[in-house]
């Protein structure tokens, strides 16, 4: 299975959007979608998860199923983590034993009976991560997954994503953190003002542009766009 966007455009009345976006996502690869706020990252993700329809272009993939971690979920404050995972687990036909394992995986087993209203931002984000791990889809999309996480849980999230990659999953995560993308991703999509600046294997992009870091490449690419 592969996922392809071919010359996809989605324009909004405020002038923002994405224009002629093309890239491939492949199994066993972690792809980082990198850009500043408003660059078009969420628009691309919303198209991939079928929340938005493009104005033009094609999206090619073998399945419509996707495991998805949004940048934030407004979980009901009166429910517990266990109740939320149980409800979602029933919808996705996930066994009770696996539901318990997921809560343990994100460090919420001891807090499973707490009301969500008592959760910190980091705990909510870990519950968000747990729900995204449910299901069998080969396509795993995460929108700014490190938001609200402390260094320990960021490291843990990176470890889990590497496990998913080893299981031949197609993984796409958005971030504005160039260092995170460089550390964990195999390939990168650099987007700025709705347009792809560069996409491909990170080491090849760095070597081809005489750069040693993604930050250096990003600054070089954005300067070129301003000068054009």
Express as a percent the part of the chain with pLDDT over 70.
Answer: 97
pLDDT over 70 at 227, yes or no:
no
pLDDT over 60 at 85, yes or no:
yes
57, 80: one domain? no
26-45 average pLDDT score: 94
> b/e per residue, 185-202, with b = 16+ CB within 10 A?
bebbbbbbbbbbbbbeeb
Q: What confidence category does residue 15 fall into, taking pLDDT thresholds of 50, 70 and 90?
A: confident
State the residue range of the domain holding 86.
Answer: 74-136
146, 201: one domain? yes
64-81 average pLDDT score: 92
Q: Which residues pair with 9 in a beta bridge?
A: 56
**6 HSE (CA, 13 A, CB side):** 8
55, 129: one domain? no
The pTM of this model reads 0.92
CATH code, domain with 161: 3.40.50.300
- Taking Cα atoms as reference points, which of 66, 4, 25 lies closest to residue 188? 25
pLDDT over 80 at 226, yes or no:
no
Contact 171, 31 (CB under 8 A): yes
- Average per-residue pLDDT for the chain: 92
186, 120: one domain? no
At which of 121, 136, 151 does a domain end? 136
Which tens digits make up the pLDDT trace of 179-195?
A: 999 999 999 999 999 99
Count of domains in the chain? Answer: 2
Which tens digits make up the pLDDT trace of 119-162?
A: 999 999 999 999 999 988 899 999 999 999 999 999 999 999 99
pLDDT over 90 at 30, yes or no:
yes
Strands in 56-60's sheet, in edge-to-edge order, are: 17-25, 3-11, 56-60
54, 109: one domain? no
Radius of gyration, CA atoms only, the chain: 18
Q: What confidence category does residue 37 fall into, taking pLDDT thresholds of 50, 70 and 90?
A: confident
55, 78: one domain? no
Question: For residue 80, what is the DSSP state?
Answer: B
| Residue 179 confidence (pLDDT) | 92
| Residue 64 confidence (pLDDT) | 73
| Residue 62 confidence (pLDDT) | 67
| Residue 197 confidence (pLDDT) | 94
175, 129: one domain? no
194 conformational bin, left if phi > 0, alpha if psi -120 to 50, beta if neither: left
């Amino acid at each position: 299975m592969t996922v392809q966007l071919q010359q996809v455009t989605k324009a909004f009345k405020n002038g923002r959007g994405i224009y002629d976006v093309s890239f491939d996502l492949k199994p066993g690869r972690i792809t980082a979608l990198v850009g500043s706020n408003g660059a078009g990252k969420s628009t691309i993700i919303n198209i991939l998860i079928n929340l938005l329809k493009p104005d033009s272009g094609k999206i090619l993939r073998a399945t419509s199923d996707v495991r998805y971690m949004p940048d934030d979920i407004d979980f009901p404050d009166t429910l517990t983590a266990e109740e939320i995972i149980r409800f979602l687990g029933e919808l996705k036909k996930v066994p009770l034993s696996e539901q318990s394992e997921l809560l343990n995986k994100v460090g919420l087993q001891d807090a499973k009976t707490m009301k969500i209203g008592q959760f910190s931002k980091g705990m909510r984000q870990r519950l968000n991560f747990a729900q995204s791990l449910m299901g069998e889809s080969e396509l795993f999309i995460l929108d700014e997954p490190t938001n609200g996480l402390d260094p320990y849980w960021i490291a843990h999230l990176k470890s889990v994503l590497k496990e998913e990659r080893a299981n031949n999953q197609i993984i796409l995560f958005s971030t504005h953190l160039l260092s995170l993308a460089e550390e964990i991703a195999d390939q990168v999509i650099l987007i700025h003002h709705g347009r792809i600046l560069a996409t491909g294997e990170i080491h090849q992009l760095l070597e081809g542009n005489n750069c040693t870091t993604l930050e250096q490449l990003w600054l070089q690419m954005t300067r070129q766009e301003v000068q054009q």
